[in-house]
Amino acid sequence: MMKITAASVIAVILGASGAVASVLDAGSTKYLLTDIPAPNPDVEVVSTFPDYPDRAFPGGERVKVLLGVRNAGNDDVNVTYIAGSLNVPNNFAFYVTNFTVNAYGDAIVKPRQEATFMYEFVVDPQFAGHSLQLALTTFYDEAGASYATTFFNATVPVLDPKVVFDRELVMIYLTLAGVAVLALAGVLKAVGLGHLLPYAESSKDTKKKSAVTVKKVVERQPSAVERNPSEWLEGSAFAKSASQRDAKRTSKKKA
């Protein structure tokens, strides 16, 4: 079974075969897709969408498809073009738009060998919300004869464009908003309207609460010793002798 590998992609696109992608004019694009030759039974193809395995493509996003080509014949196969189009579902004769045609020059696939080609296209965002027929076709030559194989032909949904969350942009907006608030606060204070700032009022309330707390801490209650200086002597020898003296004085007075 033929597999698409990264090594084969590099070999075909950047290797010694000298494959160079180029853009053809609209006339050539239309000619390729309206006069498609028959496929060669010795050429086997397989394709995959690595970034969109569910085959649902967002509008405005670049879609990459990898095409694997295997030469099962005895002659060299020269892959020349890959082209694509969007068509009305169930009616291939009515096309909606044609994509860019990539030309690969002399991309030779030797007998009993395989290679991988990359093709990219972009679906117009105006088609978002619709399902269209996507057709992708590769063109190649073998022994002086021209062939073509439509390696993908199916109805695909076009999704709404992706909305990218830019964290850095959000941080910039938040920073600018903070600077604007500080600048407004400075202007209001300069013209004597600082009382209009809600945080200024709350700051004053906080200062008042702090002052009350400090006063409470400073204005402490008098201790028990301060209320009764002799209270701390209760139970001591000095307290007992003092009580005995008081008792003697009382008895003398009664006598």
Residue showing tokens 């063109």:
139
Q: CA angle 135-140-133, nearest 5°?
A: 0
Mean pLDDT of the chain, nearest integer: 75
Would you state the structure tokens that stand for residue 191, as one six-digit string?
């013209």
- Which of these ranges, 153-162, 171-180, 245-254, has the smallest mean pLDDT? 245-254
Q: Cα(74)–Cα(53) distance, rounded to whole angstroms? A: 34
In tens, the pLDDT along 44-64 reads: 999 999 999 999 999 999 999
Q: 12 burial class (0-12, 13-18, 19+ CB within 10 angstroms)? A: buried
Would you state the structure tokens that stand for residue 148, as one six-digit string?
């073509």
* Closest residue by Cα to residue 56 from 123, 143, 10, 112: 123
Q: Cα(158)–Cα(155) distance, rounded to whole angstroms? A: 10
In tens, the pLDDT along 8-29 reads: 433 343 333 333 333 344 344 4
Q: Can you tell me the mean pLDDT for 187-196?
A: 69
In tens, the pLDDT along 71-124 reads: 999 999 999 999 999 999 877 667 789 999 999 988 999 999 999 999 999 999
Res 39: pLDDT: 97
* Closest residue by Cα to residue 43 from 13, 79, 15: 79
Q: Could you tell me the pTM of the whole model?
A: 0.56
The pairing of beta strand 77-88 with beta strand 131-142: antiparallel
Does 193 score more than 60 pLDDT?
yes
Res 18: pLDDT: 34
Residue 254 one-letter amino acid: K
